[in-house]
Structure 1
């Protein structure tokens, strides 16, 4: 939950953010507790995109908070406070990734696997309905709304999310779990809107494919 005074905009800093910064600079412990509670989960999601273990990601978050404290008096309001904090987390995560010899090249997206859907599921060029689903390849009708209410399915989505390639998982988590918009994700991760769109599409498609396979096996209890 984002505390009052911390707006979501990535393109401009709300006045309430400036008020929050003032409280932080004045040593308001309650304000600091609010931002730590609100932003630490998001920071952990960002950090996991650059380091291999949760423990390393937690170290990144701690170091990022130190950076926030040191740099707070230089906050100029060019972005929202949340975006600024997450950008610091990204920078710390990248440095730690280099130290761990596993920095992620966010601008390179071709190594995230094959296409999102098996081409064999589509009709070929000789078919009058070229590009459409084959009879065997068409998705089986199912109700995402119904599954969304199923505790088992929710646990399954959480489990499958962890199986995504790290860049896809980070983008999907920031967009669909944390509710950040395209501009915020691009600014935080330092990627283009096009790369963000591809990673998000591939991640969502993989999740749907995994759920589809699970559903087709008849393992979702109704």
Structure 2
């Protein structure tokens, strides 16, 4: 966590609620991207992102820094994504192509095929694949966030990549 974000957390915990805006600005895009990749729908991703920051706002006074702020926020978003997925109980994902900027004409078919393939992955594989491939997390970080073993994370990533 950058020193500026660390200071924002400390100010928030000391009563300066406006400091939370800095935290949101620093992490909103990546939390939204994760939510979009998990849900496959722009509106659902916006709702999940908003819910994640609302939970973070309520829980931040008790944040001890045992993990990085980024890891903590991702854990909240992953938990909300799991809750969302359970509510749908394996309902097929509806892709919202308007949420991603359009690819050039020659690559549009490939981009859509990749998006559909990722959306069709089982939830655990999709989550690991998105976090590693799109968000740049290491397997160890994903294991910490998802509370799974590194071996399980690697297996899920390998299985997702093979599909």
Q: TM-score, normalised by structure 1?
A: 0.53
In 2, Cα distance between the equivalents of 1:177 and 1:49? 9
- Does the C-alpha gap of structure 1 residues 93 and 177 become closer, same or farther in structure 2, counting only changes over 3 Å? closer
Q: TM-score, normalised by structure 2?
A: 0.68
Aligned to 1:176: 133
In 1, Cα distance between the equivalents of 2:4 and 2:161? 34
Aligned to 1:197: 154
In 2, Cα distance between the equivalents of 1:64 and 1:176? 22
- Does the C-alpha gap of structure 1 residues 188 and 54 become closer, same or farther in structure 2, counting only changes over 3 Å? farther
Aligned to 2:73: 85
Matches within 5 A, 1:1-222: 6=1, 18-25=6-13, 26-27=15-16, 29=18, 31-48=19-36, 51=39, 53-102=41-90, 158-162=111-115, 163-164=117-118, 165=121, 166-206=123-163
**Gap runs ≥5 in structure 2:** 92-103
Query: Higher helix fraction: Structure 1 or Structure 2?
Result: 2
Bigger Rg, which one: 1
Cα offset, 1:158, TM superposition: 4.4
Count of aligned pairs: 146
Aligned CA RMSD, in angstroms, stands at 3.1
Runs of 4 or more off by more than 6 Å in structure 1? Answer: 151-157
